Amino acid sequence: MSLFLAANPLGDVLGFFQRGGLFMWPLLICSIVAVTTMILRGFALREKNVMPVVIQSEIERLVPGGSAERLSRIVERDDSSLARIVRVALQHLRSPRSENVEAVQTRARHEMVILEKGLIVLEVIVGIAPLLGLIGAVSGLVHVFSHLGLSTGASDTRQIALGIAEALNATVFGLSIAVPTLVAFSYFSKKVEVMSVEMETLVVELIAKCYFGRGGIDVPGHRGSGARIPVITQ
């Protein structure tokens, strides 16, 4: 029976948590929020949810100066970020190109806010988790040294060593939260950046094809090309 208890990982985890002190509770909340945010962002930032392949293929299939009616029907039934930006571009085709670009830029900034939703939570947890762990460690050390000299006997040194080790539990827990959260924040931030560049490229190509022959921007590869519309801005 004693061997089973000694090898009980759940008991070890609970013991580690209980010895960490009061600041283990806010750290536990941070860990739950971080894991939940990672899962939600992981699903939300899947490429098929942001940039459906069918829309990308239709934009690439569209011939310069051709009809975008089929693309319009596709994006009307889709609720992805790319579909919403393309929808704005198609709705302003009768406007001057500069007004269309301005409308697309406004919508693109809104979509960037949606894509980055939740990343600020991860960034905050990366900052506060180690600090909470440090506060917990300092609090534990204050508790240990406040009892220094109150007890007598040869066990003083051992009790102080155990108290210091237990006080550092909060620091270990805080760092174990901050490190994977930082990795997730960096990964999702880079993913949003890459997808924003890809959407910019697609929308620039769409606008160039739709306004082909009206003067100004041509399709890359044609005479007069080279103009670039900064559709997605961060």
Give residue-wise pLDDT tens across range 175-198: 999 999 999 999 999 999 999 999
Residue boundaries of the structural domains of the chain? 18-128+178-210
Q: Which tokens hold the place of 215?
A: 């003067």
| Helix extents (H) in 45-155 | 47-50, 53-61, 69-76, 81-91, 97-115, 119-146
Q: Could you tell me the pTM of the whole model? A: 0.77
Which tokens in the block code for residue 227?
């103009």
- The radius of gyration computed from the CA coordinates of the chain, to the nearest angstrom, equals 28
The answer to whether the CB of 141 falls within 8 A of the CB of 21 is no
82 with 52: CB under 8 angstroms? yes
Provide the pLDDT for residue 192.
94
pLDDT tens figures, 85-136:
999 999 888 888 888 889 999 999 999 999 998 899 999 999 999 999 888 8
Alpha carbon separation from 125 to 21, 181, 190 (Å, rounded) = 19, 7, 18
Q: What are phi and psi of 213, to 5 degrees?
A: 95, -10
Name the nearest CA neighbour of 234 among 194, 185, 182: 194
